[in-house]
Amino acid sequence: MLAGGTKVQSPIDIPQRLPAVPEGPADRELLQRFIRHQDEAAFAALVKRHGPMVLRVCLRVLGQAQEAEDAFQATFLILVRKAGAITRPDLLANWLYGVAARTALKARTRAVRRAQLERTASLVPRHPQNEDDRAVLLAHLDEELEQLPYKYRAPLVLCYLDGLTNQEAARRLGLPAGSISYRLARGREILRHRLGCRGMAPAAFAFLLSDQLALGELSQGLSNQTVQTAMGLARGGTLATVATPAVRQLVEGMLLSTRRRNLAVLLLLAMALLGLLAVGAPMAGFWPLSSSEANTPKPCH
């Protein structure tokens, strides 16, 4: 029982109450139509299908509607730029979730820094300790969910955020239904452990997944505006000409972060290879963990 008398359910009995993904062409087909033909109807269908989930993520992290809408638009503009590099189009929901969470977190960081520079008390964003329990818990959930290994994050995103049943998620991921059930259970277990390290009680974790997580509805106006902005970029426009300054800064910041992260990975791989060649023997620190080690929650620090 949470503050205010909110009743929680066991994670085993969590209902999947979010609306199902609208029927129609598969994400892979819609994405290919957009990449090859700049098909506006295909992109609009993707926004309609996944936009509600993206907006919920942005609202949970940022709280403010305008900032959330900026992060929402930035997420789909990043999709325009990175569409051809998505290796698993059938898992577009999982990809969009990760981009939306990181974009919203970057927007929140910018807002805090801006408030500190302006030194105006009325503009300082609310500190999580002053927010209601629900907003704090949801923010922690997004941060930890985004860091989960892909094999556990994808089923959780598809089933709890995009509204698919276990069977639908299994088909989307190309896995047996039993594997989805196991990965959902394992993903919840890891999440429960990590959130426990943040001082959250098991009851609070159950509340997170039993809540409908619908903090706002995707308006037709925002959907249309996002599609038109995205198509302007896809048809040769620049971020400076098609997007607002706030959205442009978010997109540019995210793309720059991605390039830096990729460069850092390449440098680490090169250093590891040079190290192995130099010593002429395997170095234990560079070998991957066994499956049992990788799946075992680490102790809280």
pLDDT digits (tens, 9 = 90+) for 137-183: 666 777 788 788 888 888 888 887 777 788 888 888 888 878 888 88
| pLDDT average, residue stretch 91-99 | 90
Residue 2 lies inside a defined structural domain of this protein? no
* Structural domain contains residue 212: yes
| Dihedral Cα 247, 252, 253, 255, nearest 10 deg | 120
The pTM for the full model equals 0.64
Residue 50 confidence (pLDDT): 93
- For residue 243, tell me if it sits in a domain: yes
The SS3 assignment for 255 reads helix
Residue 6 lies inside a defined structural domain of this protein: no
- State the DSSP H helix or E strand holding residue 14, giving kind and residue range, or none if neither: none
Looking at residue 131, its amino acid is E
Rounded CA gap, 191 and 267, in Å? 31
Question: Total structural domains in the chain?
Answer: 1
Q: Is residue 80 part of a domain?
A: yes
Q: How far apart are CA 281 and CA 275, in angstroms?
A: 9
Tell whether the model's pLDDT for residue 129 goes beyond 50: no
266-282 residues labelled b (16+ CB within 10 A) or e (exposed):
eeeeeeeeeeeeeeeee
pLDDT band at 105 (very low <50, low <70, confident <90, very high): confident
Question: Which range is most confident: 93-107, 184-198, 284-298?
Answer: 93-107
Calculate mean pLDDT across residues 32-49: 95
- Which pLDDT does position 20 carry in this prediction? 44
pLDDT at 80: 95
Distance CA 64, CA 259 (A): 29
pLDDT at 49: 92
pLDDT mean across residues, the chain:
76
Percent of the chain with pLDDT over 90: 26
* pLDDT tens digits along 266-277: 667 677 677 666
The closest alpha carbon to 153, from 187, 129, 182, belongs to: 187
- The residue-averaged pLDDT of 104-130 equals 61
Q: Which residues contact 138 (CB under 8 A, 6 or more apart)?
A: 60, 208, 211, 213
Query: Does 4 score more than 60 pLDDT?
Result: no
Q: Which domain holds residue 204?
A: 11-294
137 assigned to some structural domain: yes
Average pLDDT over residues 213-232: 82
Query: Residue 154: inside a domain, yes or no?
Result: yes
